[in-house]
Structure 1
């Protein structure tokens, strides 16, 4: 059993007024049991639920905007309060991904100063560079064209640089992909189980 979070990217037009229905359609090809004879070799999950604790930071001008997506419920916290400046998904142009990176970098600087959570042998520059690229992406990414990417399936994103691990390449490439999304692309985070 593994739990992970996937960032799903959808063309704005595909979402219409029902993000949950659009997410369901987008995730279906990667259902472990969606293939012939109840096994899907492309499967990546056996269950998923919308929501990621409102991880996305919303640009101040869009706080409370009706296009923000909040998970309808959370089995582990059905009464969690909604923060109008955070969400589980929204059009990319409403999200303050740079503020998310800045917050994560500030935490990484504190980690470096304390020595806690620092990868052995890493330099300060390496530690901060990695923090900058892991701040926004999640463990997997569903691209606008419907292809799945994660550290074991880099293909849709690109290839590692010489000497770079697949894991490091995934975070770097996923971050670059999210930075380059058009403002109308809908981005959501889902909690998955496999």
Structure 2
């Protein structure tokens, strides 16, 4: 992390630092990178040896905590996320076309907040759930698992936007420390998109490494 090691040397408010940490170690902790097939044994790949508990880690050959950007398979998880988003969107559209149009739960909540005395929360929830398509969805567990219990809010009406958001969400973790020492919290859609664009723009030999930190 040196020379940009913010172990209490800088704090929130610094122009280039949005967080700091007490300690850190190399550990993908469930966010490991996929390795480009055929390069699983490349010595440049990084795999942390121990978990925070001190127990040995056993990182599968197809995964790593980091390495040169060219050895990291960034596209496969994105493709999977895009396919899953399309599958959910199309499944819901096909299912819902047999029913009257559906309103999101947020519309009923807004009505409740505008007039809580005359339109209580329980009534708002009941009105949302008794919409024909939602009632049918709640009786279709496999589809509900795929699209959630509020598909309008979860999926929206723009497939392209849904896919882009799904793709952007796959790789980012909580923060990004750039090569020029900017530490950025990845806290919204714009930052997740920046995270992805930044990784894609890295030189092929630049290292990207997952670290687990305590701040």
- With normalisation by structure 1, the TM-score equals 0.67
The 3 A distance-change label for structure 1 pair 40 and 175 is closer
Deviation at 1:187, TM superposition (A): 0.4
Deviation track 1:32-82 (CA, whole Å, cap 9, x = no partner) reads x224xxx67544223322111361011112111111100120034723323
- Residues 124-160 of structure 1 deviation map (CA, whole Å, 9 limit, x = unaligned): 43322101112122221111112112247xxxxxxxx
- Structure 1 CA distance, aligned partners of 2:84 and 2:74? 16
- Which consecutive residues of structure 2, in runs of 5 or more, have no partner in the other structure? 92-145
Q: How far apart, in 2, do the equivalents of 1:74 and 1:110 lie?
A: 36
> Which residue of 2 is the match for residue 95 of structure 1?
72
Residue aligning to 2:114: none
CA RMSD between the two structures: 2.6
* Partner in structure 2 of residue 116 of structure 1: 148
Separation in 2, partners of 1:183, 1:171: 21
Gaps of 5+ in 1: 1-22, 153-166
Q: Which has the larger radius of gyration?
A: 2
Note if 1:142 corresponds to 2:177.
yes
Is 2:82 aligned against 1:105? yes
Q: How many residues align?
A: 152
Q: Give the 4+ runs in structure 1 shifted more than 6 A.
A: none
8 A contact 2:49–2:56 mirrored in 1: no
Give 1:1-194 correspondences, 5 Å limit. Answer: 23=1, 25-28=2-5, 30-31=6-7, 33-35=8-10, 41=13, 42=17, 43-52=19-28, 53=30, 55-76=32-53, 78-109=55-86, 112=89, 113=91, 114-116=146-148, 120=153, 122-123=156-157, 124-151=159-186, 167-194=188-215
State how far apart, in whole Å, the 1-side matches of 2:57 and 2:180 are: 33
Higher relative contact order, structure no. (Cα contacts within 8 Å, ≥ 6 residues apart)? 1
* Higher relative helix content: 2
